[in-house]
Structure formats: structure tokens, C-alpha cells
Structure 1
Amino acid sequence: MVVKGREIVDMMQRRKIKALCVQETRWKGNKAKISAEGYKLLYSSASPESRNGVGVILHRELQEEVCEVSRVRTMYVKMMFGREMVTVLTAYALQVGCSEDEKEKFWRDLDGVMVGIPENETVIVRGDLNGHVDGRKGGEERWHGGWGYGERNEEGRKIVDLQWLLI
């Protein structure tokens, strides 16, 4: 975490953010780094040569609570909050230059990760899923706060379908 990382940590400190999910990262590989301020970055790139990855930045208070980290195109961190297991999942759905097969593989992988999380765990999903869900009403605003954009496209439909898995 160099210049941009410093800016992110400064923002996290100002806003008192303890965990932050990031996408479209430029870090290569599957690693963890600690900044001078004690924040820990856990990250994963889509492949060893890729720079389009995901990560989770944790305040030092949360670092001891990490029980498990899984690094695939979707990355999750399991942590204990009191007596509750919480899974924080971050994902980045690549779009530009990707074939339909690659896109479908991403959604299958994400679905596989979701199905593998026990029902008694709280799941927080964050990411850049590259879809338009639109601002429809009828219960869906619970998931996007009514801030949807554009007309719903195929990726937006997949996002909404994923959200209903979480109910």
C-alpha cells in the first residue's frame, strides 16, 4: 500500500472504518501486508499475472478475530464478532475483454462460495459486480436503497438473484 494505500488508510481513520472491501486492486498475488499504521491488507489477484483483484483492509482491532481467509476471484474473510461468526465477502466481476464463459464462471464461482457459507453465519457482500439493477420498488430497495442505476441488465439480474439467496 503506497500512495493510494496511504490515502485509503487516512480515510478509514477519519471515518472510523474498521473493515473496508476494495476491488480493481493493482497488487499481484495472494498475500497480506501491514501498513505503518497497523492496518492489514489481505488481497488476491484474479491470477498470478493479473492486477485486477480484490482485498479487505482491516483495522488492528479486527486482525485477531480473523478465523479464515479464502482467496479466489471472490475473496472472503471470516471473523468472530462477540459470539457471532461473520463472513465478509468481496468480489470483482470483470467485464471488459471477458468472454461470456469467463463471466458465467465468475457467477458460478460466487454462487459456490455463497452455498458453502453455513446458514447460521452473517454474510456481508461488497464488491463491484458490474451490473445495473435499476431503482425498482417491491422489496428490492432493501438491498440497494433505491439507488439503482439504469435499466436492469443481465448482470443486474444476477446481482438481484444473488441477493435473494441471502434472505
Structure 2
Amino acid sequence: MHRVQIAYLQETRWKGNRWGEYNGYKLLYSESEGAKNGVGFLVSLKYHRNVIEVTRYNDRIMALILVLGEEVVMMVCTYAPNVRLGDLEKREFQDCLDLVVRAIRREERIFIGGDLNGHIGKDNDGYQSIHWGSGFGERNESGRNLLEFAVAHDLGILNSFFRKRDMHLITFSSGVQNTQMDYLLTRQVNGRWWKDCKVITGETTVIQHHLLVGDILLREKLVKGDRSIRPRIRWGNLKGDKVIEFKDKVIAKTVAQLSRDANRISEDMVTTIIHVANGTLGVATGKSSGPKDTWWWSEEVQNKIRGKHQSFRDLLRCANDEEQVRPKDKYKKAKREAKRAMTEAKNTADKLMNAWKQRRRTCYVQDYQSYRE
């Protein structure tokens, strides 16, 4: 299972404009003419409540608009006429799709996907801005029209932006014929949010078409309520003079409870320690904003972090893809090493802190018993 949140469907061949719920997804589809065409969407229940509008333009183009936090996202599902159909039907499809895209405001996200029945080819000559050379096969006239459409609307073809083996580029197989005709397009200005795009081999969809999956990051802001926040005691401040102050306050509060029975005193010990820690050491709000709690960073961790930042700056200085190859590999390696060093240092610090807490708890019990004696 690839946790697909929104799926584009083509050749549904269902009559009417309806919706239904199946296996955790909402099915939305448009009317088809007889036993051909038809498009639709499968939207997970998680995002279906965010759908504010569904537009069925014809049996080849359908769109839905979602609101994710403060961001408006428009999904357009398409099924282009194949090469055997006449020029009139192809022109009608292109004109309709062009009008749909032109009506979308520049600040809105747009994702166009589906069977566009064109071959953009492996070479990107003349279209380097929207085709990064990770296509398949030879370009045909329909593929050239698709590239011209993408240039006109400043749309990038996700399939071509990630270098994959041929098996992860082929979207249609029929006998010995393998082609690429299914695509995902989105605005190039949002390119930094593209994570991956490839064909999932062996996935059960239909006999000839293969499942094309795009991994795209959306900045989703919660609309209702805030995320849960757990305040945390700043145990890292327990050092130096704070140790003596903390110990004296805990003993003083424990002495004040001597009039109670022993069982009640034992139960209140944890509450007493937490209350004193809140007032003596301070409490972190738990929010993501503000400086990180890095008291446990060792010298090794700091060196790894500085190395990662330097390798990233070196990567930004590269002017083209060829220059980015080695700096990019160096940055990925530095990133992995920094993450590994941080994890090891954090685990070590947690073990030391837990051991220290256990020792202090034992000392408090011993001090209390000595006082009673």
C-alpha cells in the first residue's frame, strides 16, 4: 500500500455524474458517452472534507478544488484523445484544458494528471525548462503539443524531473510495445516541494497501464484547533547552584508533609519533585518556534552540523546540474552523518539523565529516612 491520498482515474466508462464511498475513499466521476472515456477521482476520507468544489467539464476533463489550511489546491484529471481520433476532437480537448488552466489564479496550486496520450521522448532539446531529460522513447506530435502547453503555462512535467530506470518510466505496456503517455504536471515555482515521481512496477491496476505515483509536499496548516503541546521540564538546567537549590526545596516540602501517613508521603513525592522542578528549572512550552533545546549537543555533533551547513552552501554555489553532482552527494553524506551523530548524542544524554534522576531519587529517600530517624 502506497498511502495514495488522491488518485486520478481515466476510462471509467460509467454513466452519470455520481459519487460513492469505497474502502476509505470517496469516488467522484464524470459522465461518459456509452462504453468509452470517462474520468474521475478517488479521494481519501482524510481529505474529502476539504473538497469545496467539483467541476465536470466533459467526459475527458474533471477538476476538484481543495482547501488545505490556507492553501487552495486544484486537481485536474484528464484523458486526452488518442492518435487515431480526428484533429477536431483533439483541438476541442486542448482548447478546453487551456481554458481550465487559464482560469486558475497564479497563487493557487495546480496538479494536472492523467492519460495525455503523447510521448515527450527522452531528449529535452528545446524544452530544458520543463523537461529535465528523464523521459522515455521518442517524441511524437502529441508529445510536442503537450510540451508546448506546459511551456505556455509554466508547468513542469514531474515524470521528467527524477532520473529513473526505464521500468519506472513506462506507463503503458502492450505486448512488446512500451511507452510513456501518463504524466503529472504542476507549476515550476513549486518545484522545491516535489519529492519523487515514478511508476510502481507490479502494482495491480489495469492490464496495460501502470500506476504512476507522485510524492508532493504540501504545507498543510491545521484549520481546527492547534496541535497538542506537552510542556517539558528543562532538566538540562539542573547543574551548578541549581542542584543545591533543587535539593533543599524538595527536602523542605517533604518535611512539611511529615504529619501525613507514610503511604501518602510516598505518593506525593513525585508531585513534589515535579512542582519544585517547574519553579526552579523552568518549563519548555513544547512549541516548534524558538531556539532548539540543544544542551545535549557534544562537540562532535556541533562539528557535524557545521559540516552539513558548509556542504549545503557549496551546493548552492553550483550553477548547473553537472556541477551539482559531487556537492550534492557530499551534502547527502554530511546530512546522514549529522543525523546519526545527533541521535547517538541524544540517546547517550537521555541515559545519563535517567541514571542521574534515579540516583537523586535514591538520595532523597535516604535523606528523608535519616531525618525521620
The alignment partner of 2:101 has SS state of helix
User: 2:19 aligned to 32, 35, 58, which one?
Assistant: 32
The alignment partner of 1:15 has SS state of coil
Q: Structure 1 stretch 92-101 or stretch 127-136: which is displaced more? A: 92-101
Number of aligned positions between the proteins: 149
**Partner Cα separation in structure 2 for residue 86 and residue 111 of structure 1:** 18
% identical aligned pairs: 35
Aligned to 1:77: 64
**Structure 1 residue identity aligned to 2:116:** L
The alignment partner of 2:149 has SS state of helix
Contact 2:32 2:38 in 1 (8 A): yes
Query: What's the CA shift string for 1:22-62, capped at 9, x where partnerless?
Result: 11112222211111x23111111344x35311111000011
User: 1:148 aligned to 103, 127, 136, which one?
Assistant: 136
CA shift, 1:81, in A, is 1.4
Contact 1:45 1:51 in 2 (8 A): no
CA shift, 1:147, in A, is 2.1
Structure with higher Rg: it is: 2
**Partner Cα separation in structure 2 for residue 139 and residue 63 of structure 1:** 34
Change (3 A) 1:111 1:88: same
Contact 1:38 1:59 in 2 (8 A): yes
CA RMSD of aligned residues (A): 1.7
Aligned to 1:42: 28
Could you state the TM-score of these two structures normalised by the residue count of structure 1?
0.81
Aligned to 1:6: none
- Structure 1 or 2: more strand by fraction: 1
Residue correspondence of structure 1 range 3-152 to structure 2 within 5 A: 14-35=1-22, 37-47=23-33, 49-72=34-57, 73-95=60-82, 98-137=85-124, 138-142=128-132, 146-150=134-138, 152=139
**Partner Cα separation in structure 2 for residue 155 and residue 105 of structure 1:** 14
- Structure 1 or 2: more helix by fraction: 2
Aligned to 2:340: none
Structure 2: unaligned runs, 5 residues or longer: 156-187, 189-373
Could you state the TM-score of these two structures normalised by the residue count of structure 2?
0.38
Contact 2:61 2:77 in 1 (8 A): yes
